[in-house]
C-alpha cells in the first residue's frame, strides 16, 4: 500500500511547469533597477532599457524593442557608477514589456560586481 496524499483541484504537473518559465529560474530574483544596454552579436542591433530584477543567473530588462529568443548579446548594466559587462542569451520575450536574459561567460571582475549587488539586495530583505 502506498501513502499518497492528493489535494483536490491540483494536477500533478504544476502550472509553472506547464508554461516552463519558473522551472528555469535556479536562483532568487531581487527587485533591481539599472540602466541596460544590449548589442545583438549577430545583427549588431542595439537595445536599451532598465532592469526590473536581478539574480546570479540573469535579469529581466524592460524595453519596448526586445531582441528575439535565443539571441546572444553583449550586456552592459550601469548603476550608481558601477558597471557590469557580460555575454547573455535571451531566454524569454514578453512583447511590449521586455525580455528575460541569462548570463554566461561572466569574468571575475564582473562576477564581483554582480555578487556585491546581490549581497546588498539580500541585506535589504
Domain boundary assignment for the chain: 23-124
pLDDT at 24: 56
**What are the φ and ψ backbone dihedral angles of 45, each rounded to 5 degrees?**
-60, 135
CATH number for 23-124 (one of 2.40.110.20, 3.30.565.10, 2.20.25.90, 2.40.10.220): it is 2.40.10.220
Q: Residue 32 and residue 59: Cα distance in Å, rounded?
A: 9
Provide the residue-wise pLDDT of the chain in tens; the chain has 125 residues: 545 444 444 444 434 444 444 445 578 999 999 999 999 999 999 999 999 999 999 999 999 999 999 999 999 999 999 999 999 999 999 999 999 999 998 999 999 999 999 999 988 87
Nearest to 85 by CA among 19, 35, 14: 35
- Cell readout for 96 is 511590449
Query: Whole-prediction pTM value?
Result: 0.79
Amino acid at each position: 500500500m502506498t501513502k499518497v496524499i492528493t489535494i483536490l483541484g491540483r494536477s500533478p504537473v504544476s502550472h509553472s511547469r506547464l508554461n516552463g518559465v519558473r522551472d528555469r529560474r535556479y536562483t532568487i530574483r531581487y527587485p533591481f533597477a539599472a540602466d541596460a544596454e544590449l548589442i545583438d552579436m549577430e545583427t549588431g542591433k542595439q537595445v536599451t532599457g532598465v532592469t526590473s530584477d536581478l539574480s546570479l543567473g540573469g535579469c529581466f530588462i524592460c524595453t519596448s524593442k526586445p531582441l528575439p529568443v535565443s539571441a546572444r548579446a553583449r550586456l552592459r548594466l550601469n548603476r550608481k557608477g558601477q558597471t557590469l559587462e557580460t555575454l547573455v542569451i535571451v531566454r524569454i520575450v514578453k512583447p511590449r514589456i521586455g525580455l528575460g536574459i541569462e548570463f554566461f561567460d561572466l569574468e571575475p571582475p564582473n562576477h564581483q560586481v554582480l555578487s556585491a549587488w546581490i549581497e546588498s539586495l539580500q541585506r535589504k530583505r
